Amino acid sequence: MDHVEELKEFARLHARGQGMTAGHTARVLARITNDNPGDPHSWAAVWTAEGRAAAARGDLLDACRHYALARFPYHGDADRVRAQRLCVDTFDQWRRDQRGIERLEFDHPDGTVVCWATGLDRHRPLLVVMGGIVSVKEQWAPLLPLLRRLGFAAVVTELPGVGENTFTYGHDSWRTLGFLLDQLTDRARVFDTSMLALSFSGHLAVRAAAEDPRIRRVLTVGAPVVGFFTDEAWWPRVPGITAQTLRHLTRSEDVGQLRDRLPQFALMPEQLRRVRIPVRYVASGRDEIIPDTEQALLRRTLDDVRFKRFDDVHGSPAHLGAMRRWLMAQLLWLRVARRGARPMYRTGPDEPNLRSRSCGARSSG
């Protein structure tokens, strides 16, 4: 499969995850013939034009969705950098007409963390929402009004290297979560923090939970643990876009250097055994990125882990409704029933699909 066709294959999944119809996505993709910056028929140019059209008719969130796809999978050229900026600026314009959504920027010697937040109050439990290696925070932020109504101090942010996060993604990137909690100490009940962290950010959340007692629960979708980083037999199955995006985020010279670095990311059993909090994990039976050996390892090492498995590809895009309901039901149940207490028993491998009227987060890889 060539580069543009692989982009289109992944875009269909991510467009669905953002609520675009299959018909609209197909019509946009049919107009894309290349990925050459400056060409009006290129990937970034066509998606950006659709975003501008949506903004012109006053649909700012729809514009953001198109700009997010224009910069997909990462903003590595001038056209994608422009789309990334348009995505942020357009969302900022939208949120100014909403109640109580604010922009946060935190500087660190190693980079900058930027967030959209709502409901910040030192008496409210903190919920940190983070996407994967291709998901910008603007895709998640429309959820903020719902999360505020549910009683959370909610913050949506990005994996190191993604969007406006200027950190380099590395094996110690989990420390950025602690840095973020430090910055929010006076603005939320950080000692009662929930992490809704998808894919590779789920890996960060689990690793951080082994060290930081402020993190009381982790909910994730398709998080790598060990096998993705260390299994040489699995690597040839990893999509080229995933490999190239990781190369970019880690600032590796090439995929060879990336593969040399990846084993440092693997979570060791002794680290996992220190995760003494509830972990809820959505697994995809046909995941083309994350090997299913990760689930077996988590069952062996975690005290309180439950899985919901869908017959789908990475992120379970064909089961978004059921996935959202399960994640939100688990989040609310753990908040009400457990109050962050340490688990008293090891749970079974699968959890019933609890029903909820709440809508949860969209998933991206």
- pLDDT of 1 reads 56
Identity of the amino acid at 167: F
Identity of the amino acid at 81: V
- pLDDT of 140 reads 87
Instruction: Quickly tell me which residue has 């692989």 as its tokens.
Output: 6
pTM of the model: 0.89
For residue 181, give the H/E element and its range. helix 175-183
Give the architecture (CATH level 2) of 102-338: 3-Layer(aba) Sandwich (3.40)
- pLDDT of 13 reads 82
Cα–Cα separations (whole angstroms), residue 171 to 49, 242, 262 = 37, 17, 8
**Spans of the chain, pLDDT less than 50:** 340-365
Q: Which of 179, 175, 181, 178 is nearest to 153 (CA)?
A: 181
- pLDDT of 356 reads 30
- pLDDT of 343 reads 39
- pLDDT of 339 reads 54
pLDDT, tens digit, 9 for 90 and up, residues 197-217 = 999 999 999 999 999 999 999
pLDDT, tens digit, 9 for 90 and up, residues 18-56 = 889 999 999 999 999 999 999 999 999 999 999 999 999
Distance CA 42, CA 3 (A): 12
- pLDDT of 124 reads 96
Distance CA 245, CA 159 (A): 12
